[in-house]
Chain A
Amino acid sequence: MKSDSEFTNFLITSGRIIKMAVISFWRNRWLSLATTLIIILTLLIISVFTFLALIVNRTATSMREKVDLVVYLKENDSEDQISALSDLIGSRPEVKKIIFISKEEALNRWRARYAGDQNLQNIVNENDNPLPRSLEVKTKNPEDIEKVADFLQSEDYAPLINKLSYQQNKDMIDRLVRITSFVKKIGVGLSILFMIISILVVYNAIKLTIIARSDELEIMRLVGATDAYVRLPFVLEGVIFGVTAAIIGMIVIFVAYHFLTPVFIRYLVDIGYDVGVFMRSSLYQVVSVQFLVALLLGIFCSFWATRQHLRK
């Protein structure tokens, strides 16, 4: 029975606190609007840069993961010779991974690659398979490719090898790495700057409400309101700022996502991963981070402001 009435009490008090917060938010609607807009701006800046950093980073990683060096083998190499060569390459410190591609595997890949083109598919088959066996080598660092290639071109191994094939990815990757770090730096800098601005704006908005209502607050304390009862409406107001901003920010992000994804997909073709899928999974990450940032910002500022002004 007692806990029942305590629960009713809790509900009634919570209701009164929420009502006070909403009334205060609405009473100062222009201030609330400005505050919310600043938070939205901050969120969007953080989101856009997070997004950019994620995508450039993902592209760089994907380029690194591409096979660096392919060693095509001669038709008459024996299994023993191939396995010895494979072990030899694998034992080099620069090499991260080495995979043997058999004739069957090569055929499968060919078929998968030209799945849409019957003519090309028909050029090779099980009985007449001109595709060579190969060793795919991945190095730890892109700049090591040439070392491994030089080593394989020496007289000792040349008889076994039909052809070496390697792409000059290094420059491209380097550039992407530089872009990533640049985007990160600018993003972190701008995010911090706007975080500070929003914190100050939210802090001031709440401070102004507190000052405007200082009579009421004094009376509340005198008639025996608990600290929480005095404070929670302001904290809640901060939360309303944050959540409103997060929701609007989220809508903006979703709309931007809808229009920008096709553009990204068009420009970022053939970089080894599905841009659309990656954008979609990043979208949820970005939106959740955004929501969390907005909420924490609101709570932190209102706690800070009420702490300073509701002492005693």
Chain B
Amino acid sequence: MIEFQHVTKKYGKGIIAVDDVSFKIAKGEFVALVGPSGAGKSTLIKMLIREEEPTSGRILVADRDIFQLREKELPFYRRKVGVIFQDFKLLAKKTVYENVAFALEVAGVLPGIIKKRVGEMLTLVGLEQRTNALSEELSGGEKQRVSIARALVHEPKLLIADEPTGNLDPVNSWEIIELLFKINKNGTIVLLATHNKEIVDAIHKRVVSMKEGKIVDDRENGKYIL
């Protein structure tokens, strides 16, 4: 489903953020991408959502090189890839409902369908009672759940979580991880980038470890080894 082929990203002169990385992710997998800050996780993710271009190498998603996509196709690719961030990226002055609906409005979806889909997603993430709260009034865990609902609203094949628990306390963090499991069970690939050792060691999933831009370890039921 997703394949990194000898992907290298250099910044300026001599800084190599990602160094000849190759690995595959199959349909329905849950993969933890781990490593210390500066290991290249974020760069890898930015390339996967095409915010950055690799210096060399290819990234195939569903057998298509995503850097061959035309500018016009890019928004449609992004709708098939849900992303959640450490800083949530919500619109503070909008309600929970509006934040999720936004992603569908942008895509020209009819109001009736938006209402239905947003309702379903908010139920999935357990926020059906908080629909009309402004996002700035929410707790960190709630904010992250809104952003997950928004990421899922287009029914993506792939959900990328870039340090989703970075700003959360342990209890909230586990709630988010549980939610990611639930989403993964429904068939969505989850790529979880994190440096939270406790979580990685407890989930018993495939762990891809990065250090200084290279993959140093890749195993099923892995541990945080760095």
Contact = CB atoms under 8 A, between A and B. Distances in A.
B144 to A, nearest CB: 15
Contacts of A9: 108, 110
A312 B106 contact: no
B63 interface: no
A231 B69 CA distance: 20
A105 interface: no
Contact of A222 (B71, B89, B111): B89
Interface string A1-40: 0000000111011001000000000000000000000000
A312 B51 contact: yes
A222 B78 CA distance: 7
B75 A225 contact: yes
B178 interface: no
B31 to A, nearest CB: 21
Given A224-B76, A224-B78, A227-B71, A219 B91 contact: yes
Of A9, A221, A225, chain B has the most CB atoms within 10 Å of the CB of: A225
A220 interface: yes
Nearest to A19: B105
Interface in B103-123: 103, 105-108, 110-111
Most chain-A CB neighbours within 10 Å: which of B103, B108, B154?
A: B108
Interface residues of B, number: 23
Nearest to B156: A224
Contacts of B150: 223
Contacts of B108: 9-10, 12-13, 16
Given A215-B89, A218-B89, A224 B102 contact: no
Given A219-B102, A312-B51, A224 B107 contact: yes
- Residue with the highest number of chain A CB atoms closer than 10 Å, among B71, B83, B107, B111: B107
Contacts of B214: none
A1 to B, nearest CB: 15
A223 to B, nearest CB: 4
A226 B75 CA distance: 5
B91 A225 contact: no
B105 A16 contact: yes
B58 interface: no
A216 B154 CA distance: 18
B96 to A, nearest CB: 15
B195 interface: no
Given A13-B108, A218-B89, A312-B51, A223 B71 contact: no
A299 B176 CA distance: 45
A243 to B, nearest CB: 25
Interface of A: 8-10, 12-13, 16, 215-216, 218-227, 229, 312
21 contacts: A8-B110, A10-B108, A12-B110, A16-B108, A215-B89, A216-B91, A219-B90, A219-B91, A219-B102, A220-B102, A222-B49, A222-B78, A222-B89, A223-B79, A223-B107, A223-B150, A224-B76, A224-B103, A224-B106, A225-B106, A225-B107
Given A223-B150, A224-B78, A227-B75, 12 more contacts: A9-B110, A10-B108, A12-B110, A13-B108, A16-B105, A219-B91, A223-B107, A223-B154, A224-B75, A226-B72, A229-B75, A312-B51
